[in-house]
Amino acid sequence: MGRARSGHRPGTRRAGRREPCPARGHRRADGHHRAGRSPRHDPRLRPPRPGRAARAPRGRRRRLPRRVVTGRPVAIVTGAGRGLGRRYAIALAEADHAVVVADVAGATETAEEIGELGGRALAVEADVSLETDAQRLADAAVDRFGRIDVLVNNAAIFTSIHKCAFDEITVADWDRMFAVNVRGTWLCTRAVAPTMRQRECGKVVNVGSMTVPSGIPLFAHYVASKGAIVALTRALARELGPYGICVNSISPDYVPHDGEYAARQPEMAGIIAAQRCFRRDMEPDDLVGTLLYLAGPGSDFVTGQDVWVNGGRLFH
């Protein structure tokens, strides 16, 4: 046991010194502040100046609440009469969306299938390349369901096209491709934008293609139109972002289905599948998860993005 210092006994105060007050900033007997900050020097202890709001403590910044969407969401899916569009519409219905099914043909069959599954759907026969049809589609959705939360711009020309060198494409075929794929995407987005702006929320999901980054030959008009959709997605994201509207695109790889192109090119599926990490054909269900993510609240801070779904055939 060590010895006590000379002139001081353990358990007693030193002579000539006063015990400091435990209050922060109290002066000692010698006129100096004790260790620690005084109210005058510690901004956390000072009252806010008149006319200035109190600043949140460092590390605990205030955040504005996100806009909460209540009620059953309403989705419009174009080109939903068959193929991937039909699968998109059914997937959204299974996720408790009321779905407006739009197509030049087959919309009624898709809507009936959704009804048999216990969902709510409205069939609208529309050609998205026509300004009047695009506006009528948006009006029908609002009249029936009172709102529009999601727009899936899926309508496109693909299954009926033939391989063709770029200098053999007719002007009529080129114009028709851009009228449906690009102008239709623009017209439908323009038609739903007012109601989304008014509610300060909404999701627009455009459909691109993996033919854009891979640059496949003999489909120049189709590849160019899908590249334009990706560019349009980014431009719309800039313009609609201030209103809380997310605009993204999903680019699927080749999906064999009952289209005319798949029937004419049966070997194409195997060639593309061999280039994928997963070494299998892509199915419509492989796109559902990404679609629901871009259409749902989990992507509220995601906009202007092109999401590739290709089984690892291409990376970026």
Q: What is the distance between the alpha carbons of residues 110 and 259, in angstroms, rounded to a whole number?
A: 16
Candidates 88, 222, 243, 261; catalytic one:
222
- What's the DSSP call for residue 285? H
- To 10 degrees, what angle do helices 184-199 and 220-240 make? 20
Q: And the tokens for 79? A: 């080109």
Q: What is the distance between the alpha carbons of residues 151 and 159, in angstroms, rounded to a whole number?
A: 22
Q: Cα 75 to the chain's mean position, in Å?
A: 14
3-state secondary structure (DSSP) of residue 7: coil
**Is 222 known to be catalytic?**
yes
Strand partners, 179: none
Non-local CB neighbours of 38 within 8 Å, separated by 6+ positions: 24, 25
Which residue bears the tokens 């969407």? Answer: 69
Residue type, 113: E
Annotated catalytic residues are 222
